[in-house]
Amino acid sequence: MDLQFVLQALAILFHVFFMVLYPPISCFLMYKLFTGGYFAILLGYLIWLIYDWQTPSKGSRLSMALRRTYYMKLCQQYFPITLRKTAELDPSKNYIIGHHPHGILSFGATNFCQEYSNFSSLYPGMRSYLSTLKMNFLFPIRREYFEFLGVTDCSKNAIQYLLSKPRKGAAVAIVIGGAEEALEAHPGKHRVVLKSRKGFIKLALHCGTLKPVLLSSCQAVAVLFNIFIILISPLPILYYIYYILMYTSYWWVMMLYFLWYLYDYESPRRGSHLFMCLRRCSLFKCLADYFPVYLKKTAPLSPRKNYLIANHPHGITAAGLFVNFLTEATGFSDAYPGITTYPGTLDINFLIPFRREYMLMLGAISCGRESVKYMLSKPAGGHAVVLAVGGAEEALEAHPGVSRIILKSRKGFVRLALICGASLVPSYSFGEVDVFNQINNEKGSLLRRVQDWFRKIATFSTPIFYGSYIFLPYRRPICTVVGRPIDVEKCEDPTQEQIDRLHEIYVNELLTLFNNYKVSYGLPESAQLEIL
């Protein structure tokens, strides 16, 4: 028989013993101590118990060393017990984790009181606590064992204590169904006790750890405003300009604006008019919370260098790129101090009056060669130009669950990086293609041929899409993972061989990033990034 299996079985037997058989045995041992002349030992422990009585309600005595013991590893490997991550947890916040189902002994819940399922690695900066009934802390030795594992009392006061502490990053796991749910535990049955269990919701709302799943008015306004600016605003803006010029006495106001427009025409190619206060507008935070949108940092960026961040995929509206790089809603400046982002977009987006000023104040620039070169050639460093490399063509490939990008023939950004000596940084927005459905437009279909024809003429594409309530995007998480920088040696006149070699390195880095994080953000292990 395999020795490893024997050790695992012994570990589980000890766990079952400690959970089920130990309480009556501990009571018997206490009785023997009382009647066997060891009253002093019992009295000493009782004094300690009185002194330590509130510890399970005050955050326990979490010891990471105990969570990492070989015994805990054996218990985890016996089944095995695994932990699957689907979204980020912000360590600047506290969380209540509702765990289902209870089962007989809640083995799955041990993910939150041992480290061999990699909770701390998956959620850096977070501290997990598992809550249980107060009666489990009545039995000597076992109560200390639970305390050192970070197990706490599941009472209202105990949970509030943890979630209300100034130090954030606490995640309290509660087995919501409790003892009643254990009676529903049968193999093959997926049954939980939840309908009447609302106390944890009240606690979360009280402590600010759970946001209601209903769409808030702030989020609705933010999303509608963003859709209006991107898709709808050109028509009403042009109409009102025409109306003011033709039917009001304020035509001179528009003439002044047009003089400004001519004077400022080159600004999209000269670094924009970035106004950080606008980037920090709370409306963008509401926009980020709608999906929600997250930013994942995998490596630092030096403020002494310039960077070209290539973002994939474009999706329908490039929501991940917009929120993460054009606003401060996800804290880019905090994650990468000293780095200022300048997302590039089509020149056509700067033609519409007033909207162009909005884009320029957000720090958007033209994605043209001269514009990108201007920003990346600044000697001071700390500039990061962000490009959706796949562009308009890639938007036509945006279908939920499809990981497909346009990259094989896109080498202009690589050439620019070589000319400017800017480091290349791959980034991938997981979930970007899932927030809208797009009408089927397979290559070769009549619709796709029309879309491709129009794209070549107009430079932008026309995906036919729909979402929640037709025009609202679905509330599905988007996480933009920013990879490690690829150092690039400056070469003012790169050869095709140099461009191809750097492009190959970039593609390999992007594939590595995708494969390393795809499971963490909801894609199956078998998912492959298709590069066209």
Supply the pLDDT for residue 362: 94
pLDDT at 72 > cutoff 90: no
- Given a cut of 90, whether residue 385 has pLDDT beyond it is yes
The yes-or-no verdict on residue 1 having pLDDT over 70 is: no
Residue 202, pLDDT score: 79
Question: What integer pLDDT is reported at residue 375 of this predicted model?
Answer: 92
Q: Is the dihedral of CA 364, 240, 281, 298 positive or negative?
A: negative
| Pairing between β-strand 478-482 and β-strand 423-430 as defined by DSSP bridges | antiparallel
Q: What is the DSSP string of 399-429?
A: -TT--EE--TT--HHHHHHHHHTPEEEEEEE
- Binning pLDDT at 50, 70 and 90, where does residue 498 land? very high
For residue 230, give the DSSP letter.
I
Highest mean pLDDT among 77-81, 420-424, 440-444: 420-424
Instruction: Tell me the average pLDDT across 352-372.
Output: 92
Angle, CA of 222, 228 and 234, to the nearest 5°: 150
Paired sense of beta strands 383-388 and 307-312, if any: parallel
- Given a cut of 90, whether residue 223 has pLDDT beyond it is no
Boundaries of every domain in the chain:
3-207, 228-439+475-531
Tell me the DSSP string of 123-182: STT-EEEEEE-GGGGSSTTHHHHHHHHTEEE-SHHHHHHHHTSSS--EEEEEETTHHHHH
Which residues make Cβ contacts (< 8 Å) with residue 303, sequence separation at least 6? 337, 338, 339, 381, 382
Q: What percent of the chain has pLDDT over 90?
A: 35
pLDDT score for 166: 67
pLDDT at 213 over 50: no
Asked whether 104 and 186 are in contact (CB, 8 A), the reply is: no
Encoded tokens for 240:
């009102």
Residue 224 Cα to chain centre, angstroms: 22
Position 520 scores a pLDDT of 85
Residue 209 banded pLDDT, cuts 50, 70, 90: low
For 437-461, what is the mean pLDDT?
A: 87
Average pLDDT across the chain, whole number: 88
Mean predicted confidence (pLDDT) in 183-191: 87
**What's the rounded Cα separation, in Å, for the pair 183 and 14?**
23
Whole-prediction pTM value? 0.63
- What is the pLDDT at residue 217? 64
pLDDT band at 43 (very low <50, low <70, confident <90, very high): confident
The predicted pLDDT at position 261 comes to 93
Asked if pLDDT for residue 212 goes beyond 50, the answer is: no
Nearest to 45 by CA among 140, 120, 176, 134: 140
Model pLDDT for residues 296-334, shown as the tens digit of each residue:
999 999 999 999 999 999 998 899 999 999 999 999 999
Q: What is the mean pLDDT of residues 397-425?
A: 92
Which structure tokens are listed for 433? 């293609």
DSSP conformation letters of 277-319: HHHT-HHHHHHHHHTTEEEEE-S---TTS-EEEEEE--TTT-H
Q: For the residues 233-248, what does the mean pLDDT come to?
A: 90
Most confident of 54-63, 93-102, 478-487: 478-487
Rg (CA), the chain: 29
- Tokens representing residue 41 in the block: 């030992």
pLDDT tens digit string along 258-299?
A: 999 999 999 999 989 999 999 998 889 888 888 889 999 999
Confidence (pLDDT) at 216 = 58
* Mean pLDDT value of segment 392-402: 88
Report the range of poorest mean pLDDT among 18-22, 126-130, 370-374. Answer: 18-22
Beta bridge partner(s), residue 309: 386, 425
